[in-house]
Structure 1
């Protein structure tokens, strides 16, 4: 998962940060790949606003819980009544709950969501992805403004492997992949194997499910190439090298609220769009350092970010 924009800023932020996850169209999917952390207690808050309670859900990995807490508290700050249902599970479960109205708001990743709806989509940029998403979402569901913040797939190697093979991009693996073991989340092979063949002409020696241990498996030599998310602090901590993706196999992965429109009014929509306007990749990475490395409570981290952004 690897956005290459804001590389300098992201590299600095990663030195301070810890993170979890995102995916791309047809790719490894954080909303399907992560193991659940202990769930924060569900809560409800009756703000000054009238109307239905907005139910904010999340997938079962730390970054999505953090984003959901930011959304929840931003809504509450505007007087919206909120119920939190965090750490639910994968997109397959969450999407159905949004359609039914059991959930109102979910932090999504635009490229991953498009891949879920249309595995054949070739859209890569934020605007192109969002245009297709809006056309493919069923009546009753909508995306709001996407944040600049992006948590994206990468194909990553150790510095030693990069030097030994002389590789800087995925394309450089041509003629070498057949001798390499690649690892990632359990669904990485089924979603990506054919794409690597079609886009880059790569056939790997073996596909090994490594889940959340992919970065460590790279460092330990159990695999030579791994699917690591760009906000994972281990990229810097373990001196790993995300390979460039010149053919854009991995699509945009902007943090984007997915909502059930029947349950969200103009006040709620404005509150969530205000979050997207402030949240960037470096900021999200720094927040995730506090959650994933420093083990701070996601709710407290969300609260401090909202205060600093002037949204509380």
Structure 2
């Protein structure tokens, strides 16, 4: 008798849980917003989500720190994500495999066209800032060597250590391309997590790092960015991208997200990143406070 009760109870429990789940989700539908594994993306995920939740009835599933470019790109193509912020140069070179060009408008137009035709993904309006790669060194070290440009660095590179993200070391618009265009080869390379490369240079564990031009630690750690005198690095304008089937379901999203268009300058993004990386503020609070300051949410 006891075993019979157990056999009856467990299926009923499962059915009950399923009914509760359905009941809790009735009338609610939503989207997933994802991001890559660094601070700027974390802030942007919350910025998009807060903007959408405060201006629509759409619920948001936040999927922060999913991983590198290929992981997040794969997720949106499969439909596991609806929205994330991509960079024009990254899509153009690394994801589409095209040869680098420096015309930012042309890069945007080409990636937008190819993504819509091939992947069913729409590129919305650029946010405003260009988060391009730069090489950075301790200012005192750069001045000691008399280094102002990447070309100036080439003769010294064999005695120096590059501390860079694993992704940068493997990208054609990263170390691989730098070697080809500048003929630069570092004596040692160390693959590091994105959040550790700046501190590695500051603390002397590395001599040079791959930096993002919008990162607040460049100023805070007194790092010097080297001029890309051969214009190797392409434009990396940040742009929200969204699945077209998601837009068909929620057409209001395009207008809401495009309220961010052109509002985030390089300097603004650098300050927001610094609030998280240097001041220890919560990224969601940083995103929310900025949206309020711009009158985009209440």
Please say whether Structure 1 and Structure 2 have the same fold, judged by a TM-score greater than 0.5. Answer: yes
What residue number does 1:287 align with? 272
Match of 1:209 among 185, 191, 196: 191
> Residue 74 of structure 1 contacts residue 275 of structure 1 at CA under 8 Å; is this kept in 2?
no
Match of 1:195 among 177, 189, 195: 177
Are residues 89 and 174 of structure 1, via their aligned partners in 2, closer, same or farther at CA, if it must alter by over 3 Å? closer
3-state DSSP of counterpart to 1:289: helix
Match of 2:230 among 229, 247, 270: 247
- Runs of 4+ aligned residues of structure 1 deviating over 3 Å after TM superposition are none
Q: TM-score, normalised by structure 2?
A: 0.80
What residue number does 1:99 align with? 77
What residue number does 2:48 align with? 71
Q: TM-score, normalised by structure 1?
A: 0.77
Q: Residues 8-57 of structure 1, C-alpha deviation per residue, up to 9 Å, x if partnerless?
A: xxxxxxxxxxxxxxxxxxxxxxxxxxxxxxxxxxxxxx9xxx99623222
Are residues 145 and 263 of structure 1, via their aligned partners in 2, closer, same or farther at CA, if it must alter by over 3 Å? same
> Residue 148 of structure 2 contacts residue 226 of structure 2 at CA under 8 Å; is this kept in 1?
yes
Q: Shift of the alpha carbon at 1:231?
A: 2.8
Are residues 65 and 174 of structure 1, via their aligned partners in 2, closer, same or farther at CA, if it must alter by over 3 Å? closer
> Residue 52 of structure 1 contacts residue 263 of structure 1 at CA under 8 Å; is this kept in 2?
no
> Residue 78 of structure 1 contacts residue 267 of structure 1 at CA under 8 Å; is this kept in 2?
no
Instruction: Report which stretch shifted further, 237-246 or 128-137.
Output: 128-137
Are residues 254 and 200 of structure 1, via their aligned partners in 2, closer, same or farther at CA, if it must alter by over 3 Å? same
Instruction: Report which stretch shifted further, 173-182 or 255-264.
Output: 173-182
3-state DSSP of counterpart to 1:108: strand
Structure 1: where are the runs of 5+ without partners? Answer: 1-45
Match of 1:57 among 15, 34, 43: 34
> Larger relative CO (CA 8 A, sep 6+): 1 or 2?
1
Q: Compare CA radii of gyration and give the structure with the larger one.
A: 2
Identify, as 1 or 2, the structure richer in helix. 2
Count of residues in correspondence between the two structures? 264
> Are positions 1:119 and 2:97 aligned together?
yes
Match of 2:152 among 140, 154, 172: 172
Q: Residues 254-277 of structure 1, C-alpha deviation per residue, up to 9 Å, x if partnerless?
A: 221011011124421011111123
3-state DSSP of counterpart to 1:277: coil
What residue number does 1:270 align with? 255
What residue number does 1:25 align with? none
Q: Shift of the alpha carbon at 1:151?
A: 2.3
